[in-house]
Structure 1
Amino acid sequence: MTFVAQHNTGFACLKLDIAAAIYAVMQRYDDYRAYRETLNQLRDLDDRQLADLGISRSEIAATAHKAAFGV
């Protein structure tokens, strides 16, 4: 019978942690970029267009935040 043992060294785990951290930062940046883009597009609309969407001017930031971050 043959046994194969695979050992994860601390260095391999560290590489995975760093990759996960980089991915998380990139994801947050993409979310923030989507928020800013949505915010700017909504701010460019006039009051009538916003009313057609059911959004008041005071709700623009909250609407953009919900669209980008889903919260």
Structure 2
Amino acid sequence: MAYTSDLRLAQPRAAETGLGGKLQAIMTDLAQRYARYRVFRDTVNDLAILPNSVLADMGLNRSQIRSVAYEYAYGAKK
């Protein structure tokens, strides 16, 4: 009985390790970071325009807006 093996399957593809793959990974990371930042900024802006009475109904104080927006966008507190 004959056995064969294909070592190319165990090695990373050239596109994933080359300069193109690294640039693509950087661009993907930057796009994800920017998307999270936009969620943070949009949440801050949306909460900032609410009157204090509405914020109080939500159980928030104006000083908590940034921390609530950060937790919403990034999933964890600072």
Normalised by the length of structure 1, the TM-score is 0.82
The count of residues paired between Structure 1 and Structure 2 equals: 70
Map of 2:49 onto structure 1: 44
Asked whether 1:29 is paired with 2:34, we answer yes
Tell me by how many angstroms 1:4 deviates. Answer: 3.7
CA shift in 2, pair 1:63/1:5, >3 Å:
same
Deviation of 1:16 after TM superposition, in Å, equals 2.4
Secondary structure of 1:67 counterpart? helix
Higher helix share: 1
The aligned amino acid for 2:63 is S
Aligned to 2:22: 17
What corresponds to 2:61 in structure 1? 56
| Identity between Structure 1 and Structure 2 (%) | 33
Letter in structure 2 aligned against 1:57: R
- Give the C-alpha shift of residue 5 in structure 1: 4.1
Match of 2:70 in 1: 65
Give the Cα separation in 2 of the matches to 1:36 and 1:43.
10
Q: 1:26 to 1:3 in 2, by over 3 A?
A: same
Higher mean displacement: 11-20 or 39-48 = 11-20
TM-score, with structure 2 as normaliser = 0.76
CA RMSD, Structure 1 to Structure 2 (Å) = 1.8
